[in-house]
Amino acid sequence: MKPSRLGLRPLTQEAFAPFGDVVQKQGHRPEEINYGQTLKYAGLADIDIVESGGEPAVHIYRSEPIDLPFRVEIMECHPLGSQAFIPLHNRPFLVVVAPPAEEPMPGSIRGFITNGKQGVNINRGVWHHYQLSLGEPADYLVIERGGPGENCVERQLKDPLIIENLELEIP
């Protein structure tokens, strides 16, 4: 069976709201701190980690770039906490998500492309693909739930999707 095409949309807070937060300075008014030496952009994401004794866990992930076309075959979710990916590079990357459900439903899977300066905080239970870096290896600061309990569920898609190119789709 030929996989269905997954179109990409620009990552905006409005379009991504059902799945989590867009972590970016744009649209936020900074607070001046440290005697005017620093601008603080506060409240950028709702980090959700305390379920069942969770605690903050901060990591750096290095992700190898993908080649296009790319087959989306596996998705994962974290039932006990959110997971934030903040790029430590200045290049666009892809974000593939689906709403919470028993399984990721093919018709509800959405693909987004960042502008290179945006991160994402994926809500608890939202299905997502691992980091999809473009061009060269990329590092991400990851803030997620650590602690007891099983907090990663993977599912193989019954009907894989394909990202053919970086052409944007207007919803």
Asked if the structure places residue 111 within a domain, the reply is yes
Give the closest residue to 128 by CA, choosing from 92, 164, 153, 147.
153
Provide the pLDDT for residue 44: 96
Summarize the confidence of residues 143-164 as an average pLDDT.
Answer: 96
Per-residue confidence (pLDDT) for residue 109, from 0 to 100: 97
pLDDT band at 171 (very low <50, low <70, confident <90, very high): low
Task: Report CA-CA distances (Å) from 85 to 63, 82, 98, 107, 170.
Answer: 11, 10, 16, 24, 25
Mean pLDDT of the chain: 95
- State the Cα–Cα distance between residues 34 and 104, nearest whole angstrom: 45
Q: What are phi and psi of 41, to 5 degrees?
A: -100, 105
* pLDDT for position 102: 95
Q: What is the mean pLDDT of the segment spanning 126-147?
A: 97
- Residue type at position 103: E
Please state, in angstroms and rounded to a whole number, the distance separating the CA atoms of residues 127 and 18: 11
Residues 28-52 have pLDDT tens digits of 999 999 999 999 999 999 999 999 9
Residue by residue, DSSP assigns 124-167 as TT-EE---EE-SS-EEEEEEEEESSS---EEEEEEEEEEE----
In a domain, 169, yes or no: no
168 in a structural domain = no
Are 85 and 131 within 8 A, CB to CB? yes
Helix H, strand E, coil C: the string for 114-130 is CCCCCEEEECCCCEECC
Q: Residue 1: pLDDT above 90?
A: no
DSSP per position, 100-117: SSSS--GGG-EEEE--SS
**Is 171 part of a structural domain of the chain?**
no
With tokens 């299905």, the residue in question is: 127
Domain range spanning residue 52? Answer: 4-163
Q: 103 in a domain, yes or no? A: yes
Does some domain include residue 77? yes
Question: Is residue 13 domain-resident?
Answer: yes
Q: What is the CATH number of the domain that holds 158?
A: 2.60.120.480
pLDDT per residue as tens digits for the range 94-121: 999 999 999 999 899 999 999 999 999 9
pLDDT value for 151: 95
